[in-house]
Chain A
C-alpha cells in the first residue's frame, strides 16, 4: 500500500534527460535487485533442477536435511521442488497482472487526461468509482461465481488486474495533466503531430519512472492478493503458486504439527520478493521526487569563525558581515558565497543585486543562519549591533538564543505571493504564533490588538485576519508578509525578491509602502533582487554580486552615474530601455515601469 497517497511529483526534465530516468545506484537498489534476481532464478531455473513436486512418498513431514533440504510435506512431497514450481506460478501471475493493470491504468489515466473533455471526465469518474468499490470482496464474489474447475491462473490474473488498476490511473492522470501543458508538448501539438505520436513520443517517456513504479506496485499487489485468495480457498485450481502451497500447508496443520519448514519458506519467498520490489520502487520514487533522496550523514564541521566578531565601529551601524563564506558541501564543494563583507546602517536600504544563482539568497539566509545542509558557513562572522547596546555574534548563538534572536531583531520577507504563508492555517494564527513564542507575557487581547495594528500599518483590512492565504491576492499576501515582519518591531528586515512575482502596479504599491514604513519606523532593509534598475531607485547603497563575490559596493547614485565594474554595466544594459537612454531606467513617480519580469519562479539560489 505504499503508493496510495498521491505523491507530489517533481516535474521530470525535458526530453533529453534519459540519464536522469535511470535510478541512482544505492545500497537499497542493490539489495532489492539481488533479491529479485535470486527469486526469479528460483522460479525460472529451479523447476528444471528439482524432481517432480507432486511425487508422494511414504515419509510424511520429514525434517529438513539429507536428501530433502527443506523436508517434506504431510504426503512426503519435496518442499524444495514445490517451492521452485510455486515460485514460478506466483511470478507468472504477478507479471500477468502487472502488465494488464499497468496497461489499463495507462489507458484510463494517460489517454483520458490527454484527450480531455468528456472522455477525461468519464474515465476519471470510472477510475474513482473502481477505486472506492472494495477490491477483495469483489474478487471473492467474482471468483465464487466462476466454477472451481474453470478457475486458472489467467482467470485469477484478469480478476486481480480489473480490481487493481484504479489507484495508478489516478496518479498517472495527475501527472499527464501537468505534462500536457508543458511547452514542448504544446509545440508538438501545434506543429500538427498526431495525438498517438504526441502521447508515445512526447508524454510517455516522461511518465516512464511513474509507470515503472506502478508496475512494480501491481506485481507486489498481485502476488500478495493471489496468496490471500488461495488461502481463502479461492485461488487458481490448476496451477501451483506460493499461495496454494500455503493453503495446503495450513490445511495440513503444518504449524500445529510444528512443521515450520513447510509453512515458513513460501511466505518468506513472498516477503523477500515483495521487499526486493519495494526497495527498487524506492529508487524509482527518488527519480520521480528527488527530494526523497537520502542525505548522506556527515559530521558537522565547526565553522572556523575567523576573523572574530567585529565591535561596533559607531552607533550608526546595525549589522556587520565580515569575510563570510558559504560552501555547499557536496561531492565537488560549491563556493556559493566568497569572503563577503558588508555593513548595514540603521534605517538604510542596502540593495543586493545579481542574477539567479549568484549566491545572494544564500548570503541572506546565512546571515540569519537559515541555510541548511549541505550548505555550511566556512569562514567569517556576522555581528548584530543591538539598539539597546551590546553586540550579538550571530554565528555563535545557541539554538535557543538563535530562536529568540530571529524575528525580534531581524525579520524576513519572502516572496509571499509564492508559498511563504502556510496554506492551511488562518492569517491570524500565523501572526499570533510569532507573539505567543516571542512575547509570552502578552494577553490574548493585546496580541489581537497588535495583529490588527500591523495589518493597518500595511493597509490591509483587519477582517482579513480570519482569512486563509488562498483567499488573498498576491499583493495582499505580500502585505501580510510585511505586516508579519513588523510584528516585533525588528531593527533589520531582509527582503528576498519581495515583489518579483507581482504585477507592476502592485509592485509599485508595495515598494512605496516599504519606503514609507522605513521612514516611519526606522528599520534597516537588506533588499535582494535581480532587478538592478529597481534598486537604483529604491536603495541607498548597492552591492552587486557575481559568482559569490561582491564585485561592486557603493552608494546607489554613484553606481548609477559611474558603474565601474563591467558586470554592473552589463546588468544595467540587460534591462530593456523604454526610450533608448539608460537614464530612463530610473523609475521615479508614476513613470511607466518596464515590462513585468515575473519569470523567475522562486527565490533563486537553491538554498533549500
Chain B
C-alpha cells in the first residue's frame, strides 16, 4: 500500500508543479500578454468587460491590485473548477469546449500508434536480444538511423511519396470532410483511413528506441542466473525466452514507457502540424500563432494532466508485473 500512497503523492506534487509553472511562465516573460489579448479581443468585436479582463489577468498576470499570492490562489481555484477562460481565436468559445473537441482525436491517434510502436519494439527487441550473434544484430544500427531522422522530415517525405505521388493515403486532415462526425461506420472508416499514415510515421520513428532498449535488457537478462537455471531445467527455448528472459527484461521498458509518454505528446504536436490533424497539438500551435494565451495555457495544462495520469496508470501497472515493488516501495 505504501507504494501506491507514494505514487499518488508524487503525482500530486508533479501536478502542483505544472500548475505553478503555468502560472509563472507568462508572468516572468517580457511583454504584457493581457494587453495583446485585449487588443485582439476588441478587434474581433468582443466586449471587453472588466470581469473578462480580470479573468485573463488571473491567468496571465498583469496590473491587478492583488498580491501575487492572492492571484496564485484565485488561479488555482479557477483551475480546479475547470474554468480555463475564453479563447480569443475562437471567440466566444470557452477554452474547455475547444479542448474537449480536439482531445479525442489526439488520444486515439497517438494512443494507438504509441501502443503499437511499443509492442513491435518489445517483440522485435526480444528476438534480437535473444538471438545475439546472428544476422539480427545488424538491425540495431539500422534502427538508430530511423531514430536520428527528424520526425517531420521523414513524415513529409512519406507524405510526398505515399500521398502526393502514389495517392495511397489522403494528404491531410482527420476524416473526409463531406462526412459529418458521428458514431457510424462511414465516419469511423474514414477516420481510420485518414489516421493510418500519421500513425505509421509515428511507429516508424519511435519503434527503434523501444527495440534498442529491449534488446539491451534482453542481453543483460540472458546472462542472469535464473536463465541458466531455466536452461538446466530443460525448458523449451521459447519458454525460457518469454517467461524468464523477456519477462524480466521488459520491466525497465514498461517504466520507460511512462516517461516516454511526454515525448509522445510532444511528437504528436509535430505530427498534427504535418498532417493538419484536428487534434490538440494543432490547436496548441494555432493558439501560439494567434497569441491566444488562454487556449495555450489550457492546452498545456490538459496535456500535462493527461501525461501525469497516464504515468500514474503505468506505475500502477508496473506494481502488478513486478512483485518486488509492492513491498519495497
Q: Give residues in A with beta carbon < 8 Å to B.
A: 1-2, 4-8, 28, 125, 128-129, 131-138, 140-142, 144-147, 150, 167, 220, 224, 227-228, 231-234, 243, 246, 250, 255-256, 263-264, 266-267, 270-275, 277-279, 282, 285, 289, 291-292, 294-297, 368, 370, 373, 402-408, 411-412, 414-415, 418-425, 429, 433-434, 437-438, 468, 470-471, 484, 602, 608
Contacts and interface: CB of A to CB of B under 8 A. Distances in A.
A608 to B, nearest CB: 5
Contacts of B26: 145
Which 8 A-B pairs rank lowest in CB-CB distance, beginning with the nearest? A274-B148, A136-B266, A406-B234, A267-B153, A145-B29, A1-B209, A134-B262, A5-B256
A255 B217 CA distance: 40
Contacts of A243: 150
B266 A133 contact: no
Contact of A6 (B22, B149, B232, B252): B252
A7 B218 CA distance: 11
B18 A133 contact: yes
Given A141-B25, A274-B148, A437-B233, A422 B311 contact: no
A5 B253 contact: yes
A370 B226 contact: no
A466 B225 CA distance: 21
Interface string B264-300: 0111011001000000000011001101010011011
Nearest to A220: B148
A370 B228 contact: yes
Nearest to B142: A275
Contacts of B296: 141, 144
A423 B324 contact: yes
Contacts of B149: 267, 270-271, 274
A160 to B, nearest CB: 12
B116 interface: no
B-side interface mostly: helix
Contacts of A2: 144, 147, 208-209, 212-213
B21 A133 contact: yes
A414 B227 CA distance: 12
A267 to B, nearest CB: 4
Nearest to A373: B133
B156 interface: yes
Contacts of A422: 226, 229-230, 243-244, 247-248
20 contacts: A1-B206, A1-B260, A6-B256, A7-B220, A134-B262, A136-B270, A137-B269, A228-B150, A256-B160, A266-B153, A289-B216, A289-B220, A297-B133, A407-B232, A412-B229, A420-B229, A424-B321, A424-B323, A437-B233, A438-B234
B79 interface: no
A271 B150 contact: yes
Given A131-B259, A289-B220, A406 B307 contact: no
A422 B225 CA distance: 8
Contacts of B31: 145, 147
A390 B33 CA distance: 90
A133 B31 CA distance: 25
Nearest to A607: B228
Given A267-B153, A270-B148, 19 more contacts: A5-B253, A131-B259, A132-B262, A132-B307, A133-B21, A134-B261, A134-B265, A134-B266, A135-B266, A136-B269, A141-B300, A145-B29, A255-B157, A271-B153, A274-B147, A294-B133, A370-B232, A403-B235, A471-B327
A285 B219 CA distance: 13
B14 interface: yes
Nearest to B310: A132
Interface in B142-168: 144-145, 147-154, 156-157, 159-160, 164
A156 B228 CA distance: 50
Contacts of A7: 216-217, 220, 252
Given A1-B209, A5-B256, A255-B160, A421 B226 contact: yes
B91 interface: no
Contacts of B164: 255-256
A291 B273 contact: no
A425 B321 CA distance: 9
B150 A433 contact: no
A142 B26 CA distance: 8
B273 A231 contact: yes
B179 interface: no
Contacts of A294: 133, 137
A146 B145 CA distance: 34
B239 interface: yes
B266 A137 contact: yes
